[in-house]
Chain A
Amino acid sequence: MNKERIKNWVLVGLVLLSFGLTMQLWLSVPIERIVPGDQAFSGQDSEEIYDLSSFVLPQWMVVNFGGQSHTKLIKDSSSQGFFDEVYAGISEIMEYIFAGGQNITFTEASGDEWAAARESKSIEVEYAWTFDTAIFSELFGGGANRESIPMAGIKGLTVTLGGNRAVYFKDGIRDTIYKLELPESHQELGRLVNRLEEQDPVKYWTLKEIGYSDDNSFYVPLDMSSFNLPVGTAEKELDTSAQAVLDAQASSFFSDMSVVRKITEMDGSVIYTDSQTALLRIDSTGFLEYMVYSYAAGDKNRADINSAIEAALKFISVHGGIPGQLYLQEAREVEENGLRGHLLRFNYAYNGLPFFRKGGLKSSAIEVTVVEGKVVRYTRNVHHVTRARIVQKPLLYPVKAADVVAEATSGPGGTKSLPAIKDMYLGYCIDMKGAKDHQVYPVWYIETGEGAFIVDAYEGRLVE
């Protein structure tokens, strides 16, 4: 009897195994794609459940201790704790504004008033882009539309922590500063700032304070020994030499792979198309581009920015996964085939610093165009850092980085004029040269009137 039972179980096992093997024989998609678990993308940290607040984050926050004493907080390992705590306090103020039931009255503030607020004990929050106020309403107010909020788009805000309890919003669309008096000061934020000051963090300076120019819109550090940024190697998330991986990736874009044609071009790019609805192209660098032929079947009720972001994040999650430290870099309205849509650009960070791709400085890691709730274009070029090592030398001083740009723009010989810098911050660059193990190193990103430059922050050479 027992023997019979064992035989039955063995038989069931063999039948199941034969099913699995038959499926592998007949489908071009490998079984690991069908069985959930490890995805075709190596190293991805995709999550089905996502929270908008994880993607719409400040590019940086600056804590002003009063006068010419400031420090910058980014979401890196050294200051993440403070970043999170300070941002939690800022979020509470935003919730009061966007979700609170109280009557709030904004007034227009002068530039001098705003400058005075920044010089006092305060916290500045800066976003990478002037995001539509509707995004903040969704983020902090659950989508409630408060008519008393005059901002069309928010580029940043300043919360004062001294006697003058107010929030100043920088509306990047109307180029106006709006002020809101707060009923009481945020004591927890005040305590946090005091605690941070006691720890003597790295000081940041405006170009005006340094004497470089009259610009005081951003901050740079001058104590470069405080930074300990590693260099490393990264690999593309898609192994383009493995056809099975590419086929598996394609299968997530097309519902019926039996009608999909696969074309391999001379340069190694692979194109998948069903000739009816969409085209997917993956080149040898791992750059993926998906385009739909028809914009029909969209939902006119989902033409707003928040629906577009939601659709984009769902799409990214399903098609490659959401990379770690992904954030919304830009959200702009576009017109596609006469229809109103949104172009959403996402980038990701390494140790809190944004990634730049050599040769693709203007492109983002992930770009999604959404028209009426439907993704009509999707590009993706993501790398994962696999190895990192500490470098035993200080980073290049920002003035030295400006010298590199000056030499590059005005040619050899003679005295160079100072580049008119509009923005400057540290980031990471991926050199996509070679098939595998791409170099990753810290860079200075410098935006001038003549364009954007990146300078190797260890070697002092112009990268792009």
Chain B
Amino acid sequence: MFRKGVIITVLILILVFGALTPVQATPRIVELIKPITDIKTVNKNMIVSGWAEADTKLEIRVYSRVAKKVGDQEVYDWEEYVQPGKEAELVVGPTGFFAREVELKNGVNKVVIKAVNAEGKEEVTEGLVTLSSKEEVRDAVRNLMNFNFLDLIKEIIK
């Protein structure tokens, strides 16, 4: 009886401490300074910067979402937005810091960072960035200002 209690206590302790102990995450090849996931911006140009080991090869590409007609249906696909005059590839220098400016297209963009370190290990980081024009944001704010919450509540009560 007593032995069973000890075993249960030990198991519970193992479970509790196991949950509290932080999982040793695999170190990433690229550590971005600002995450690139789900960003909404009005700036056509965006900075992708961060840290990686020296000699890591990076490829930073931007894809824009385009609508295509397949039969009667409209489907979305990604099309690379080749950055005018800018090279997609770069090799991280001895300080480990890198920074690149990428240009976005109006609408939804996918920024993809492919990294290959000196040992040949590959890592891909991607994120969606939505570029809106200042007018679109202005209209959205105006609509929000005009929105009457009282009417909405009345509607719900009805």
**Which B residues, 1 to 58, have Cβ-Cβ distances below 8 Å to chain A?**
33-34, 42-45, 47, 49-50, 54
Known: A210-B99, A225-B85. Is A416-B43 also a contact (CB below 8 A)? Answer: no
Residues 364-401 of A contacting B (Cβ, < 8 Å)? 394, 397, 399-400
List residues of B (92-106) whose CB comes within 8 Å of A's CBs.
Answer: 93-101
- Are B49 and A211 touching (Cβ within 8 A)? yes
Asked if A222 lies at the interface with its beta carbon under 8 angstroms from chain B, I say: yes
User: CA of A210 to CA of B100 in the docked complex: distance in angstroms?
Assistant: 9
- For B45, the chain A residues whose CB sits under 8 A away are 69, 203, 223
Q: Are A407 and B94 in contact, CB atoms less than 8 angstroms apart?
A: yes
B47 and A209 within 8 A (CB): yes
Q: What is the CB-to-nearest-CB distance from B143 to chain A, in angstroms, rounded to a whole number?
A: 21
Q: Is the CB of A403 within 8 A of B93?
A: yes
What's the tally of chain A residues with a CB closer than 8 Å to chain B? Answer: 26
Given contacts A68-B43, A223-B86, A226-B85, contact A406 B99 (CB under 8 A): no
Q: Which A residues lie within 8 Å of B43 (CB)?
A: 67-69
Tell me the smallest distance from the CB of A19 to a CB of chain B, in Å: 64
Q: Would you give the shortest CB distance from B69 to chain A, in whole angstroms? A: 31
The answer to whether A212 and B97 touch across the interface, beta carbons within 8 angstroms, is yes
Whether A211 pairs with B33 at a CB distance below 8 angstroms is yes
Give every chain A residue within 8 A of B95 (Cβ-Cβ). Answer: 402-403, 406, 415-418
Instruction: Kindly provide the distance from the CB of A211 to the nearest chain B CB, expressed in whole angstroms.
Output: 3
Quote the shortest CB–CB distance from A119 to chain B (angstroms): 13
Nearest-Cβ distance from residue B156 to partner chain A, whole angstroms: 37
Question: Is B84 in the interface zone, CB < 8 Å from A?
Answer: yes
Q: Is the CB of A222 within 8 A of B97?
A: no
Quick check: A415 and B94 within 8 Å, CB to CB?
yes
Whether B101 and A222, one on each chain, are in contact in the complex, defined by CB atoms closer than 8 angstroms, is yes
Chain A residues near B100 (CB, 8 Å)?
Answer: 222
Residue of A at shortest CB range from B96?
A415
Given A394-B85, A406-B95, A210 contacting B44 (CB threshold 8 A) = no
B99 partner residues in chain A, CB cutoff 8 A: 210-212, 222, 397, 399
Instruction: Determine if A200 is an interface residue (Cβ-Cβ < 8 Å).
Output: yes
Instruction: State whether the Cβ of A287 lies closer than 8 Å to any Cβ in chain B.
Output: no
Inter-chain contacts of B42 with A (CB < 8 A): 67
Knowing that A68-B43, A418-B95 touch, tell me 14 more A-B residue pairs with CB under 8 angstroms: A67-B43, A203-B45, A205-B47, A210-B49, A211-B47, A211-B50, A223-B101, A225-B85, A399-B97, A403-B94, A406-B95, A415-B54, A415-B96, A416-B95
By a beta-carbon cutoff of 8 Å, the part of chain B in contact with chain A is 33-34, 42-45, 47, 49-50, 54, 84-87, 93-101
- Across the A-B interface, give the 9 residue pairs with the lowest CB-CB distance, nearest first: A225-B85, A211-B33, A403-B93, A222-B101, A416-B94, A211-B49, A210-B99, A203-B45, A416-B95
